[in-house]
Structure 1
């Protein structure tokens, strides 16, 4: 099988503030451009999934995090078969910094949202994570 046809591995972190709000960002790039979701990215060759989450959150939001556990795994297969991602979603706490958009070429906006008043549309990984909170 050609490596191009293998699933890609992504990951992200669901981060909540003291008020119970979740940190979400609006994506500028595909997959899911224009959707709101948890922060994260793709796993690079030789990098662990957990190291990737920590690195990606710092790159995207300028904060250091501590992972508190794996929340869910998401198979994200495009309806047309053009892509397949396996995304690990962790729970995490911020240990240093205040989140802000650090990659304006990739993210349009970022903010804290109440679970009963989320922006939309949401990314598939965010939707799947939210199912674990009910």
Structure 2
């Protein structure tokens, strides 16, 4: 299996209630994820996350840190993906689909609905002195492509 690093960005609306999701066109069916995608050769995780959000949504973001690291096996594509999810903040831009061959829809979803469609990381536990544990998740075999 080929190792693929993927950078996602968790973005909340101004009220902190809704999460920005993109609907990806898959080989068999469409599916929702956080904005993000594969890290290109020579690119940092942060650069990839910022670039992918811009490409998929038209928005410019600042990153506030990693909120989760997970792994998944995409058997169909023979990929072993390590997924890094950053928390981000929109700094400017307007929502638009610039890659209609890849992205079908961009939408704000309440957190409960978003979590039904995609893995949405949450801070699991407080340690002390305002430090948090970043969750690691082994997601196993996944049947849609990245």
Please indicate the TM-score interval, normalised by the length of the shorter structure. Answer: 0.7 to 0.9
Q: Which residue of 1 aligns with 2:3?
A: 7
Whether 2:35 is the aligned partner of 1:39: answer yes
1:55-99 Cα shifts (integer Å, max 9, x gaps): 111111111100011011110113679321111110000000122
Give the Å deviation of 1:46: 0.6
How far apart are 1:54 and its partner, in Å?
Answer: 0.5
Map 1:1-134 → 2, pairs under 5 A: 5-19=1-15, 20-29=17-26, 33-78=29-74, 82-118=78-114, 122-123=117-118, 127=119, 129-132=120-123
| Larger strand fraction of residues | 2
How far apart are the structure 2 equivalents of 1:27 and 1:89? 17
Unmatched segments (≥5 aa) in structure 1: none
Give the secondary structure class of the aligned counterpart of 1:130.
Answer: coil
User: What's the Cα RMSD here?
Assistant: 2.4
Question: If the length of structure 2 is used for normalisation, what is the TM-score?
Answer: 0.75
Once the two structures are TM-superposed, the CA of residue 133 in structure 1 deviates from its matched residue by 6.9
Runs of 4+ in 1 over 6 A off after TM superposition: none
Relative to the length of structure 1, the TM-score reads 0.81
